[in-house]
Structure 1
Amino acid sequence: MRIRPLVTLSLVAAATVVLAGCAGGSQPEASPSGTAGDLCAAAAPSGDVSEAVTVEGDEGAAPTATFEAPLEITEAQRTVVTEGSGDEVAAGDYVSYALSAYDASTGEQIGALGYTEGELLPQEIAAESPLGQSLGCATVGTRVVAALPSTDGSSPGIVYVMDVTGITPLQASGTDQAPVDGFPTVELDDDGAPTITVPDTEAPTEVQLETLKLGDGPEVLPGDKVLVQYRGVLWDDGTEFDSSWSRGAPASFVTNEVVPGFQQALEGQTVGSQVLVVVPPAAGYGDTAQGAIPAGSTLVFVVDILATQHPAAQ
């Protein structure tokens, strides 16, 4: 049995939970944007159920939780096992976490994810979300027990042990690389959003790649689901046709469900990198108009690779 990330669960989680990232379409889609709120106040209260769970295991490794089953979970509860010393999570942050899940009726472990790189994408945290109610305004390094009930009685509640492993930067964090002559130039504002200037030359006829920042995170594998920031402009006049920056939230999609040129800018790259890619029509949308993209257009993207989830974990 596989586990779906908490951000996609209601507080009344069903017994059968599935880790299934949303399937990306042919174009990237923005991640859902949470509502700002007081995470400290939103945290579920501690109670007899969450306090009845004993947790053992070192930080950074999957823990073992034991409790006397069955546990009757009638409301969401949350108990801090270990308080971390890192930064405090705030509403709107993209939180990296790991979790182990247990069937409340039997005490058996359902699964564990996030203790190995590339298993879980960071999730945006909001006060009204299950992730927000489970973690509250926890600090990085915190471990909590969260007990979530089922509303309809058709499935047992779930006991989660969750570790807050980090807060994901929403722009590339890699090391600056030397620019390549003849490529479009890129300037970043204070938030990291790129402005792309296209040279007054003929567009290339093959895909061209330039690494602007080199990250030291995990490699993006074929078929990975990625979390990225990106901006796309037309080579002909520099007009923006799509941008996660303009929408105000990073995007998440599977690498093999975007146009081939964009796919080449992702697979084989490392998390934390910023990549510029020039996509000729043959590796883009060809002779078909696509929204704001005229037929036969050469495209220029700047992509910040924030995180990746390998196919096995999807």
Structure 2
Amino acid sequence: MRKTTSAVTVLGLTALALAGCAQAQDPETSTACGRADGASSALSSVSVEGDFLTETPTIEAPASFHSTGVQYHDQVEGNGAVVTSDEQPVVLSVDFVNPATQESVALSPVPAMTISAWQDMLPGLGDALQCAAEGSRVIAALGETGINEDFGAQLPSYIATDGSDFDLGNVITVIDVDRVYLASADGSLVYNAGGGMPSVVRNDDGVPGITIPNSKAPTSQKTETLIKGDGDEIADGDTVTVHYTSVNWETSSVSSSTWDSGTPTSATLDELPDGFADALKGATVGSQVVTVVPGDSGAATVSVIDVLGVDAQ
């Protein structure tokens, strides 16, 4: 089975990633998207064994392996959704291996994060995964500049145990692409007459801005579909991955937003914030809804929710 002891320790380092164009549905292939094999002669000599996602990969590679820049090779090419934007959330299993020692350490499991958020820790990941497909196993050398300096400084204590010289150019990274989600709602716009509901605009990345009308909030929950996606419909018990922004009706101030962290929420409907379950009943992947949930003393919360993906129970 895949190692977990060291993985839990290193997983805490993903805080580095959290501190600081929408995908088209079902592109033909990652090659059609523009993915080219970036392997050098050195990386093409690397072989990896171990079942996708479930086993710690074992590597055969020259002990003297070294890379100064980002290189990658798709050992397995998946046939799922394709990474076309740094703003897409992905679920990855990532193993770092030192060929000289055969020592490895895993970041697994990691919740869905955008490629942009991952790049705070692994700057070279965007190049290595551009146009990669869900279900792929990517063998990558991120080089000395493709791994964050603070994160990279901690790797030797896990994978450089023979006393030999070590730098980040020695590291081989095995990336299993478990899930690729939409960057934002990508369906068709739906006409709504208004009727005292907030208005929503979006920037080029799909991030919503909300304008509250100069009127009192509804006294019961009210929901409108702004964008209708053509993906799977959410079913009871499914885990849904969403981006959302919530604002206070009276102050127009943002109370919470997953867009700010680059980390969408993945949960069942009953685990999401109040009112989301009702708002998302019957919603499909690629949709965006706006819902107003009344609160105590006449206060209300307005939430704009993008449905990025669904994982069946």
Map 1:263-278 → 2, pairs under 5 A: 263-266=277-280, 269-278=283-292
CA offsets, 1:3-45, max 9 Å, x none? 89xxxxxxxxx744599899xxxxxxxx8366xxxxxxxxxx9
- Relative to 1, partners in 2 of residues 1:112 and 1:309: Cα closer, same or farther, differing over 3 Å? farther
Cα distance in 2 for residues equivalent to 1:101 and 1:179 = 48
Match of 2:46 among 34, 40, 53: 53
How does the TM-score come out when normalised to structure 1?
Answer: 0.54
1:290 corresponds to: none
CA offsets, 1:273-298, max 9 Å, x none? 111112122xxxx4xxxxxxxx5412
1:146 corresponds to: 140
Match of 1:182 among 181, 192, 195: 195
Amino acid at match of 2:229: G
Contact 2:226 2:288 in 1 (8 A): yes
Map 1:152-231 → 2, pairs under 5 A: 152-153=157-158, 159-162=173-176, 168-169=182-183, 171-179=184-192, 182=195, 184-191=197-204, 192=206, 193-198=208-213, 200=215, 203-205=218-220, 207-219=221-233, 222=237, 224=239, 226-231=241-246
- Relative to 1, partners in 2 of residues 1:96 and 1:280: Cα closer, same or farther, differing over 3 Å? same
RMSD of aligned Cα (Å): 5.5
Determine what percentage of the aligned residue pairs are the same residue: 21
Number of paired residues? 256
Cα distance in 2 for residues equivalent to 1:267 and 1:155 = 51
1:32 corresponds to: 18
Amino acid at match of 2:245: Y
Cα distance in 1 for residues equivalent to 2:173 and 2:11 = 19
Cα distance in 1 for residues equivalent to 2:177 and 2:92 = 5
1:299 corresponds to: 301
CA offsets, 1:154-179, max 9 Å, x none? 7998851455986843x421212232
Cα distance in 2 for residues equivalent to 1:71 and 1:268 = 54
Residue 124 of structure 2 is aligned to residue 133 of structure 1: yes
CA offsets, 1:170-227, max 9 Å, x none? x42121223266350424154442333447466223x332211122345556584634
> As a proportion of its length, which structure holds more helix?
2
Contact 1:184 1:199 in 2 (8 A): no
- Relative to 1, partners in 2 of residues 1:252 and 1:21: Cα closer, same or farther, differing over 3 Å? farther
Amino acid at match of 1:145: I
Q: Which runs of 5+ in 1 are unaligned?
A: 5-13, 23-30, 35-44, 287-294
How does the TM-score come out when normalised to structure 2?
Answer: 0.54
Contact 2:286 2:307 in 1 (8 A): yes
1:80 corresponds to: 72
